[in-house]
Structure 1
Amino acid sequence: MTSLSVAVLVVVLGLAGGVAVAIRPRRVSTVDYYLAGRRVGVATNASAICGDYFSAASFLGVAAAVYVSGLDGVWYAVGFAAGFVPVLLFVAAPLRRFGEFSIPDFLGRRLASERVRLVAVGVVQLIILSYLVPQAVGSGITWQLLVGQGIAGLSPYATGVLISTAAIAGLVAMGGMRGTTWTQAVQFLLLLAAVCWLAAAVLGSGFSYGGAVADLSAEPLANPVAEEADQWRLAPEANQLDEAETAHFGEPGARYGRLGQFALIITLVMGTAGLPHVMNRYFTSPTGTAARMTTVWVLGLAGLFYALAVMLGTAARSMIPGAIDDHPWLAELTVDGVLRVPEHALPVLGRLYGGTAGLGVVAAGALVAVMSTIAGLLLAAAASWGHDVYERHLNPRASQRQAVWAGRGTVIVVACATAGLALALRPESLSALLPSIVATMVTWAFALAGSALTPVFILTIWWRGTTAAGAVAGMLTGGTAAVSMFVAGTLTGDRGLGEMLMTPTLVAAPVAALVTIIVSRRGQPPADTEAMWLTMHGTAADRQAERLARLTVQRPARRPRRRGTTDAQR
């Protein structure tokens, strides 16, 4: 099993590496390294954004959340997909028209403040790190199931974390945005192919989604709980909507109460517009119209992908218990027919329907999803530190080559920090506490982005009165509120009030927006706000008229020629 599965993974990584090497930037330029020369087409950019966005939380986490929580797990799919609606309506086109390198760069120039830029860099780095860690955890979980063996005395989990992080850090450092864009596009197509194949195999076996939901809902929902070391039992899930009842697969309440369900969706929808690695991709589009059309494509692809993920999570819950007699290896992964680690749902389905090769395809798809997202996050970290900090503050006279190498150094440092944090976690010990380790941890990153960055980001785009002081106050308030609520939620537990505290955007985002407005009202916006507003929101005709007017003002008017004189006489 191991050799064939690893061979599939090696082929995928070899293909991604070959693409990165073949189209790496030939010129040492920050525009080429960070933005691929701003020449990425709609279809290519949409595929690359999907590669960025459809992370371990999407491929492993959504199916796992559905597997363990039933209908409540579907909220992850709804929130992840719907997050691009506000991006389409409010962010994509104005952001690209303004045209910078990163979110901190956009905020710093729009508000004419280096303080805003530096505070935004700090917030962006926290978001990136909180998003990177669950990706690395997902790679360790997948390697553990795919290979089951460690290297150089390391555990299988640690081996997967280190190999995936090191491999993708090398590809990003070498290929920059151009290489990463095409690598992510290819990786997304491979990921989508793996999901479509598995869905076709499941449906071809006679699986019925409606029938499966009805059958699973006939009995109370129960999941494995660790009592002692290697001692597990199934425990029924309480219904959060009615504590006197037990939860059922096809009904809400298995994980979240009414407020918790709403808070989760708001957190995911608001957080998408503040994700640095996703928003940075819009700077690579050639025009604002192309950025908007890219988002339309992403919405369509996201709808297809998450619908299949929900179906496959349901299929795993329905079909795995009946397959244990014919597949004894499942006994090591399950407790009375239920997987101990929900993230194993899709890889196990792959092995059931495709044998060793099927496991290799699905597990390779999972690792591709992980590494594609890690690539985008590392590149966003490089743009933030290399351009916004090193190039503008630490070494303002840096050459293009020095700035690019600063970004490459950032990639390596952030990758090492991510691997260290991921190695400190024990996924099986967290499985009993969280519906899906990967999906829940990524939700924290969405909450931080949606609380600290998105409110200020959207106000800066759509409200002329936003000031630098207001933006700083809003980001600090939103970030502090989100982290404080996380800590309180951890102490309270994930039931009742705790479930809202663990998804704090519903409270933290309005507070951040209110603080931004109040503080901004007490100051004056930048002097050139109108010109920047026209750049972001003016029509093509408006922008052309402004350019002509500027040229007319700058060109000195010719004095009228007096009658009877020549140019020489004048």
Structure 2
Amino acid sequence: MNITAVATLTFVVFVALIVAFLTRPRGNSTVDFYLAGRRVGVLTNSWAICGDYISAASFLGVAAAVYLFGIDGAWYAVGFAAGFIPVLLLIAAPLRRFGEFSLADFLGRRLHSEGVRLTAAGMVQLIILGYLIPQSVGGGITWQLLVGHGLFGLSPYVTGVLVSLLVISIVVAFGGMRGATWYQAVQFIVVLMALIWLASLAVINGFDYGAAVQDLSDEPLTSPTHTSDGWELRTHPDRIDTGRDAVFGEPGAQYTQLGQIALVVTLGLGTAGLPHVMNRYFTAPSGRAARTTTVWVLGLIGAFYALAVMMGTAARHVIPEAVTEHRWLDALTLDGVLITPEHALPALGRIYGGELGLGIISAAALIAVMSTVAGLLLAAAATWGHDVYERHINPHATPRQAVWAGRLITLIVAGLAGVAAVVLSPGELGPATPALVTTMVTWAFAVAGCALTPVLLLAIWWRPMTATGAITGMLLGAAVAVTALITSETLPDSPLRDLLSAPTLLGAPLAALAAALASRLSQPPPDVEAAWVTMHGTAGDRRAERLARLIAAAPAPRAGTDTGSRRTRTHTQLRGRRR
């Protein structure tokens, strides 16, 4: 057991729980529970979104992918970071101006359809489970590496799954969005500081990124592979320039040119459809604040992934030279190459910082898991608590009943994820174990990018969009994504497999086309222009539109009534309803 790591993790979790308790919602309003009263500041929200987004797959996985595949691994960092560009340009501000509780709520109200709302809720839950289960698996794996002991007779893996889910369930169920926001903000700062600390130590000890890439590119790229005779090093063939070996500093070690494009598109468009990330924009006080928050997120996310790529390169360059001095690396490496690439950051932490360094990096990995799980549970609570329970199961629910329904759903979803993670228990750790986590997270991005993102963009930017079109697009997009992902697992390495394993390049255009064709064959909702002004009009346009609606809804004045007083009351109502 790494005492330093356990102490670090315990302290950070304790501080986060205290913060969540102090910032918990004081009332029973669903706006407070799900959206933190729509009063989350720009900087705090940007930190929380980053905490939502940066999971263990990002913290350990990006560095591992760069370590294993060189430049090809950096495409993960490019896709993850680039995903917030369409969010900034096309989604954040209009989504917030419309002002609902969740993506399903937005689509249902925009298109005046409960069918759209329920279909979107199903898509959201599919994405959440696809993301939540591997995060729970990652929590168990990290606890197994970090602590190595179970509690109450349970295995270390199962203990990690249950502890991480239990802590986060408490934060979300009783702290709501406000408590989770501060929890995730604190967690992101801890994770980013851990990575900055590690990068600083590497530079102080003489690491130079450019020189390292050049040195690593002087020889073929290799990785350990398991055969019937044991472990042996395998040279990666270049999949772009066939007939030669891949090298660290050039693309081709893992993906063809089509595969590189497909991966970046899947991760980029998938980001815009992730419910736990997009729901955070409803907590911003205004559309301008949502857009400014995204600018901050782009900067913070970009810095994080740049450091992750740098550290993956550092691990590939430093570890072979460190084997002779640090004999504990013998058990983790084959001829100086890590058997499990996800050990890259923990190994660097121990090389540069001893047991303290290993503890800090390992604790940060488990913290990243817990922070992402918090956002996923909140998204599930908002979707099932607000969009399903309040509207269909108990439409006359009091605010107190609605909040407690959201809390109960949080615990139920956490329980289901825990059961699934235990069933998927990988047993003894091996090279294939972390690949399960990374692969399932990519599946969640693919379903989001195929099923939700095209419909979301059309609902925001295309006036003729209809409920029929939205349902058609979501169902077809999900079907294409799931079918492609399953099929890709049966194919040998080929450009076709690259495309099907990251299918958004195929599924998103098909879903958008199907949604557009179905919309042309059906009637758009009656208040398209009002919705358009709400999402895209200037502040003056929105005030005028609300004023017109208030005047139209007000009763006609009786004879002798002072119409000036009526206009004054209407203007007073309008000021009270401004967003």
Aligned to 2:541, the other structure's residue is in SS state: helix
Which stretch shows the higher mean deviation, 508-517 or 220-229?
A: 220-229
The alignment status of 1:143 with 2:143, answered yes or no, reads yes
Shift in Å at residue 341 of structure 1? Answer: 1.9
SS in 2 for 1:491: coil
Contact kept? 2:270, 2:445, Cα under 8 Å: yes
1:551 and 1:165 map into 2 onto residues whose CA distance is 47
Q: C-alpha displacement at 1:292, in angstroms?
A: 0.5
| Cα gap change, 1:406 to 1:433, in 2 (>3 Å) | closer
On the 8 A contact 1:145/1:344 being kept in 2, the answer is: no
User: Is 2:47 the counterpart of 1:44?
Assistant: no
Paired with 2:433 and 2:254, the residues of 1 have a C-alpha distance of 11
Tell me what 1:567 maps to: none
Superposed, which structure 2 residues align to 1:242-391 within 5 Å? 242-391=241-390
- Work out whether residues 340 and 428 of structure 1, in 8 Å CA contact, stay in contact via their aligned partners in 2: no
Instruction: Show the counterpart of 1:134.
Output: 134
Partner Cα distance (2:70, 2:133) in 1: 25
Relative to 1, partners in 2 of residues 1:292 and 1:428: Cα closer, same or farther, differing over 3 Å?
Answer: farther
Residue in 2 aligned with 1:566?
A: none
Other-structure match for 1:450: 449
What residue ranges of structure 2 are gaps of 5+ in the alignment?
562-579
CA distance in 2, matches of 1:243, 1:330: 34
AA at the equivalent of 1:96 = R
Query: What are the equivalent positions in structure 2 for 1:106-121 lying under 5 Å apart?
Result: 106-121=106-121
> Counterpart of 2:186?
186
Residue 564 of structure 2: aligned partner: none
Q: What code does the residue aligned with 2:443 have?
A: W
Shift in CA distance, 195/70, structure 1 to aligned 2, threshold 3 Å: same
Q: Deviations over 1:477-518 (max 9, x none)?
A: 000000000011011145431111000000000000000000
> Residue in 1 aligned with 2:174?
174
Mapped contact 2:66–2:312 kept (Cα < 8 A): yes
Q: CA deviation at 1:84?
A: 0.5
Q: Closer, same or farther in 2 for the Cα pair 1:433/1:150, shift >3 Å?
A: closer
Q: Over residues 282-328 of structure 1, what are the superposed CA-to-partner deviations in whole Å (9 max), with x where a residue is unaligned?
A: 00000000000000110111111111000001111111122222222
In structure 1, what is the Cα distance between the partners aligned to 2:340 and 2:194? 21
Residues 416/204 of structure 1: CA separation in 2 closer, same or farther (3 Å cut): same
Aligned partner of 2:216 in structure 1 is 216
In structure 1, give the amino acid aligned to 2:453.
T
Distance 1:521 1:430, change over 3 A: farther
The one-letter code sitting in structure 1 at the alignment partner of 2:279 is N
Q: Which is further off, 148-157 or 209-218? A: 148-157
Specify the alignment match of 1:237 in structure 2. Answer: 236
In structure 2, the CA distance between the partners of 1:394 and 1:557, relative to structure 1 (3 Å rule), is: closer
In the superposition, relative to structure 1, how do residues 157 and 323 fare at CA in structure 2: closer, same or farther (>3 Å)?
farther
Distance in 2 (alpha carbons) for counterparts of 1:161 and 1:253: 36
- Alignment map for 1:25-36 (pairs within 5 Å): 25-36=25-36
Partners of 1:196 and 1:129 in 2: CA distance: 31
The corresponding residue for 1:85 is 85
* Secondary structure of 1:517's aligned partner: helix
Report if aligned partners of 1:452, 1:475 keep a CA contact under 8 Å in 2: yes
Give the conservation status (yes or no) of the 8 Å contact 1:140–1:160: yes
* Maintained 8 Å contact 1:142/1:344: no
Distance 1:294 1:337 in 2: 43
CA distance in 2, matches of 1:39, 1:494: 49
2:531 aligned partner: 532
Deviation at 1:356, TM superposition (A): 1.4
Check whether the contact 2:221–2:245 (CA below 8 A) recurs between aligned residues: yes
Within 2, Cα distance between the matches of 1:180 and 1:427? 31
CA distance in 2, matches of 1:430, 1:462: 47
Give the TM-score, by structure 2 length: 0.93
Q: CA deviation at 1:250?
A: 1.0
Partner residue in 1 for 2:157:
157
User: Which residue type is aligned with residue 413 of structure 2?
Assistant: V
Contact 1:350-1:359 within 8 A present in 2 as well: yes
Q: In 2, distance between residues paired with 1:168 and 1:551? A: 43
> Structure 1: how far apart are the matches of 2:238 and 2:355?
38
The offset of 1:207, in angstroms, is 0.4
Range 287-296 or range 413-422, more displaced: 413-422
Question: Deviations for 1:16-74, whole angstroms, at most 9, x for unmatched residues?
Answer: 11111111111112111100000001111011101101111221111111011110000
Aligned-partner Cα distance in 2 for 1:325–1:153 = 38
CA distance in 2, matches of 1:427, 1:207: 36
Structure 1 residues 437 and 65, CA, compared in 2 at 3 Å: closer, same or farther? farther
Deviation per CA, 1:322-362, whole angstroms, max 9, x where unpaired? 22222222222222222222111111111111111111111
CA distance in 2, matches of 1:233, 1:152: 39
* Alignment partner of 1:547 is 2:546: yes
Q: Does 1:6 align with 2:6?
A: yes
Q: In structure 2, the residue corresponding to 1:492 is in which secondary structure?
A: coil
Which amino acid counterpart does residue 221 of structure 1 have in structure 2?
L
Query: Match of 1:398?
Result: 397
Task: Tell me how many residue pairs correspond in the alignment.
Answer: 559
Output the CA distance in 1 between the equivalents of 2:421 and 2:233.
27
Identity rate of aligned residues, in percent?
A: 62
SS in structure 2 of the partner of residue 506 of structure 1: helix
| Residue identity in the other structure for 1:81 | A
User: Would the aligned equivalents of 1:199 and 1:308 in 2 still touch at CA under 8 Å?
Assistant: yes
Counterpart CA distance in 2 for 1:213 and 1:341 is: 21
Code of the aligned partner of 2:86? P
What corresponds to 2:23 in structure 1?
Answer: 23
Which residue identity lines up with residue 211 of structure 2 in the other structure?
A: G
CA distance in 2, matches of 1:420, 1:320: 37
Are the equivalent residues in 2 in contact too, given 1:127–1:448 (CA < 8 A)? yes
Quick one: which amino acid aligns to residue 136 of structure 1?
S
Shift of 1:539: 0.6
Paired residue type of 1:94: P
Which runs of no fewer than 5 residues in structure 1 stay unpaired? 562-570
Deviation at residue 217 of structure 1 after TM alignment: 1.5
